[in-house]
Amino acid sequence: MQGGRRMIIAAARDCPEIPLFRRRADRAPFARPSQPPIGRSSPPPATAGPPCGPDRRAPVAGGRPGLPLRRAIRALAAAGAALLALAMPGRAQDPPRDSAAAVQQVVMGIISYTRWPVEPPRLRLCVIGPADYARDLLAGAVQPSGRPVLGDRLGTDGSPGEDCDVVYLGRVGEAERRQIFERLAGRPVLSISEQDDSCTVGGMFCLQVRGTQVSFQINLDSVARGGVRVSPKVLQLGRRKETAP
């Protein structure tokens, strides 16, 4: 309503014959200043043609819309593209053939909704500990933007290095799990756990795998304290339909 009111006021300011409101007979019409504001030159003389009303249009040159209108169209197109990219992080995918493929689809979806302070040209995904569904993650993948995601397996006692952008945690002990997340505190690293039903010890996302149906829990405290930003639209990936074998 405020935007519409501003548009009406602007139209009435440029076209004095368009009243802002129905005036009473005893109310004097608005007076327009005879001199331009200080620091502004006088407006150019009016050109022929209807200045107001339904025939008023943006200036046209060579059959193309005027510059302000072209800028508005470009801005709307850019905003629409951004919203579309945010709502649909990638093209439609085929149904996963097994649990590992389903996990890869969900993990890649989570990655697509994650932003790093400085976007790396390639993402290194580090798998720590024995993992049941990391096969396709270790094989690597490419995001729709063309950025590669490289899989790397660390030993059971391995800790994430400085160049790990994503940590995928398999079966590790409780004490070791806490140590790993203490090292990750404050760093721009997306953390995903495969075997963490409670989802209370450091990990941002905790997967729950049942066949080719993959859902996850989110540890909001870990996301808030982490060094990466995650879009709320990631919740669209929280549940996958069971597919026929």
Average pLDDT score over residue span 43-72: 45
Q: What is the pLDDT of residues 157-201, one digit of tens each?
A: 656 767 899 999 998 888 888 888 888 888 999 999 998 888 888
Q: Are strands 166-169 and 205-210 parallel, antiparallel or unpaired?
A: unpaired
Whether 116 is in a domain gets the answer yes
- CATH number for the domain spanning 218: value is 3.40.50
Whether 53 is in a domain gets the answer no
Domain of residue 162: give its range. 97-243
Average pLDDT score over residue span 41-52: 48
- State residue 15's pLDDT score: 44
Average pLDDT score over residue span 139-162: 85
- State residue 156's pLDDT score: 58
Whether 185 is in a domain gets the answer yes
Split at pLDDT 50, 70, 90, the class of 86 is: very low
Whether 135 is in a domain gets the answer yes
Whether 59 is in a domain gets the answer no
Please say if the pLDDT value at position 54 is more than 50. Answer: no
pTM: 0.59
Task: Locate 16 and state its tokens.
Answer: 């004095």
- State residue 159's pLDDT score: 65
Whether 29 is in a domain gets the answer no
CB 230 within 8 A of CB 204: yes
Closest CA to 126 of 166, 185, 177, 158: 166
Average pLDDT score over residue span 151-161: 75
How many domains would you assign to the chain? 1
**Cα(242)–Cα(94) distance, rounded to whole angstroms?**
13
Split at pLDDT 50, 70, 90, the class of 91 is: very low
Whether 8 is in a domain gets the answer no
Whether 190 is in a domain gets the answer yes
Split at pLDDT 50, 70, 90, the class of 238 is: low
